[in-house]
Amino acid sequence: MKQILKQLETMRETARQGGGARRIEAQHAKGKLTARERVDLLLDEGSFEEFDMFVEHRATDFGMADQKVPGDGVVTGWGTINGRMVFVFSKDFTVFGGSLSSAHAQKILKVQRQALKMGAPIIGLFDAGGARIQEGVDSLAGYADIFLENTLASGVIPQIAVIMGPCAGGDVYSPAIMDFIFMVKDTSYMYVTGPDVVKTVTHEDVSHEDLGGYRVHAMKSGVADGAFENDLEAMTQVRRLVDFLPTSNRERPPVRVSFDEAEREEPSLDTLVPANPNKPYDMKELILKVVDEADFFEISPDFAKNIICGFGRLDGQTVIDSSRKAARFVRFCDAFEIPLVTFVDVPGFMPGTRQEQGGLIRHGAKLLFAYAEATVPKITIITRKAYGGAYDVMSSKHIRGDLNYAWPTAEIAVMGSKGAVEIIFRNQTAEELVAREAEYKERFANPFVAAARGYIDDVIMPHGTRRRIVRGLRSLKGKTLSNPWKKHDNIPL
Ligand code: HXC
């Protein structure tokens, strides 16, 4: 018996060594942690239960029969984050470059299926070279099986991907279906084909970083929802995000004890909006002053910066502050019963050929659709401009906003005053137009016309914003609203 126990421990130790000391050293030299070190940082101490430590691939071609490493390049299992269950898979780059074999895919599928059954989030840590080249079509089959599970789990459990090294070929599509993708600066890159293949096919010389580094995806393409300095920060921040989320669509988001007074007033908000309507101000300051303990997890902070979205809590309860880039985000929140709090200062859709040729109509429709179909509590506060389409789209009363407030500084009109008078008084002189503009501003650039129609429920003092939102959310706890039965909708993709 003792002998067997000893043998088990030896086998475990071999599996823990992954691709061996030399490759682990190389991993560290690149500033990266190993698959297991990452899992240890992500989960509560001692909570990790590993599955399939002894799984090996079954390939024989290309001399693979003699090259077997227990675990086969991915560490899988479950553990807890602040006491709540999550499932994890963590690619081990030290074993065949983290590449995906049939056996490796089976391990991931096991945790995906278990997470869906248990109603717990799944977190994938990616550091891999794509399909295991030696396995051919079996590897492709494994990927497709994983994509299917990702799709079925979408909207049922939160799915989070963290790219912590290369993420190439088949590996990119599982994160792409998941809810959030984060990267690690300077050590991670995501692309369908790497620089070598690009060179062969298009003769273009490009670095890993310029093809798929965090600057590409967190700033330009919008594929990633954020980038962190290093592995440690990435794991810490994912823990923070998970804390805002429900474990599945069967559960409510976690309510945390908050020491931040619901009644807290913020007198500085009364002077936040500058007198000059063209002068910007810091919307993030408003968010930080309103949410509990100024704790706000921002999504995509470096992409489409004119719109801020992320998670915060009000009265201990998770909500979001939403935006156009976040049609996706609004849908995530609706799927997981997270109320939407929307602050509006939007002068309308950006005009121009670039926008129109880029499909502004279809993209704008995404947000409109997302807000209109959302049935979670929706509170809207117009702080300054809500012109034209922006007024309608940004969670207005007309698309089932539950509580719609405006600050006294709000300007609710079909369009900006200059553009408006130039159209309706086309034949008038420049001086006349100036007078007309002042008249138009006086008439429309305020919240009271909308309030007189009941489109705005109340014009509120900025300093009382937090109190009004908290009371609003409490009043909406019992909200029930459902959409007509359908197989699924056809969101304007
Ligand atoms: C098997 C692989 C591998 C792969 C890497 N390795 N990728 N083994 N299959 N796909 C192995 C290497 O042989 C090496 O083994 C070890 O992992 C480390 O790789 P290096 O190349 O030495 O590391 P590095 O220089 O850091 O380069 C990392 C890399 C590169 C950029 C990821 O390895 C690479 O370009 N790999 C191929 C990427 C790719 O094109 N994959 C196929 C995509 S097609 P040793 O023993 O030396 O340590 C695909 C189709 C699916 O995925 C589509 C589904 C939709």
Nearest to 342 by CA among 403, 389, 282: 403
| Residue 358 predicted with pLDDT over 80 | no
- What span, in angstroms and rounded, lies between the C-alpha atoms of 380 and 340? 8
Q: Whose CA is nearest to atom 16 of ligand 1?
A: 97
| Long-range CB contact pairs, 33-38, < 8 A, 24+ | 33/164, 33/231, 33/232, 34/92, 34/94, 35/74, 35/75, 35/90, 35/91, 35/92, 35/93, 35/94, 35/98, 35/125, 35/127, 36/75, 36/90, 36/92, 37/231, 38/90, 38/125, 38/164, 38/231, 38/235
pLDDT tier, 372 (very low <50, low <70, confident <90, very high otherwise): very high
pLDDT (average), residues 250-275: 92
Angle at 402 between CA 401 and CA 403, to 5 degrees: 100
Q: pLDDT tens across 172-194, in order?
A: 999 999 999 999 999 999 999 88
Which is the closest atom of ligand 1 to the Cα of 143? 54
Catalytic residue list contains 77: no
Contact 383, 407 (CB under 8 A): yes
- What span, in angstroms and rounded, lies between the C-alpha atoms of 68 and 14? 11
Q: Which residue carries 């474990």 as its tokens?
A: 247
Which amino acid type is present at position 445?
A
Residue 321: predicted pLDDT: 38
The active-site residue out of 170, 212, 312, 348 is 170
Catalytic residue list contains 370: no
Catalytic residue list contains 348: no
Q: At what angle do helices 35-42 and 231-244 cross, to 10 degrees?
A: 40
Residue 298: predicted pLDDT: 95
For ligand 1, pick from 27, 30, 99, 164 the residue to mutate: most ligand atoms within 8 Å of CB.
Answer: 99
pLDDT tier, 304 (very low <50, low <70, confident <90, very high otherwise): confident
pLDDT tier, 307 (very low <50, low <70, confident <90, very high otherwise): confident
Which is the closest atom of ligand 1 to the Cα of 169? 52
CA 50 to centroid of ligand 1, rounded, Å:
25
- What span, in angstroms and rounded, lies between the C-alpha atoms of 188 and 214? 7
| Residue 462 predicted with pLDDT over 70 | yes
Q: pLDDT tens across 129-160, in order?
A: 999 989 989 999 999 999 999 999 999 999 99
pTM over 0.75: yes
Residue 257: predicted pLDDT: 87
Which residues, judged by CB distance below 6 Å to any ligand atom, belong to the binding site of ligand 1? 23, 96-97, 99, 129-133, 140, 143, 166, 168-170, 173, 194
pLDDT tier, 256 (very low <50, low <70, confident <90, very high otherwise): confident
Q: Whose CA is nearest to atom 21 of ligand 1?
A: 97
Contact 336, 157 (CB under 8 A): no
- What span, in angstroms and rounded, lies between the C-alpha atoms of 357 and 428? 33
Which is the closest atom of ligand 1 to the Cα of 128? 32
Catalytic residue list contains 389: yes
Residue 323: predicted pLDDT: 43
Q: pLDDT tens across 4-16, in order?
A: 999 999 999 999 9
Return the number of other C-beta atoms located less than 10 Å from residue 448's C-beta: 14
User: What three-state secondary structure class fits 168?
Assistant: strand
| Residue 89 predicted with pLDDT over 90 | yes
pLDDT (average), residues 292-305: 92
Q: Whose CA is nearest to atom 24 of ligand 1?
A: 97
CA 268 to centroid of ligand 1, rounded, Å:
55
- What span, in angstroms and rounded, lies between the C-alpha atoms of 291 and 307? 17
CA 478 to centroid of ligand 1, rounded, Å:
52
Of the given ranges (46-60, 299-313, 392-406, 472-486), which has the lowest mean pLDDT? Answer: 299-313
Residue 325: predicted pLDDT: 67
| Long-range CB contact pairs, 353-362, < 8 A, 24+ | 362/492, 362/493
Residue 324: predicted pLDDT: 45
CA 160 to centroid of ligand 1, rounded, Å:
23
- What span, in angstroms and rounded, lies between the C-alpha atoms of 377 and 472? 9
Q: Whose CA is nearest to atom 13 of ligand 1?
A: 96
The active-site residue out of 169, 226, 310, 416 is 169
CA 67 to centroid of ligand 1, rounded, Å:
16
Q: pLDDT tens across 189-246, in order?
A: 999 988 998 999 999 999 999 999 999 999 988 899 999 999 999 999 999 999 999 9
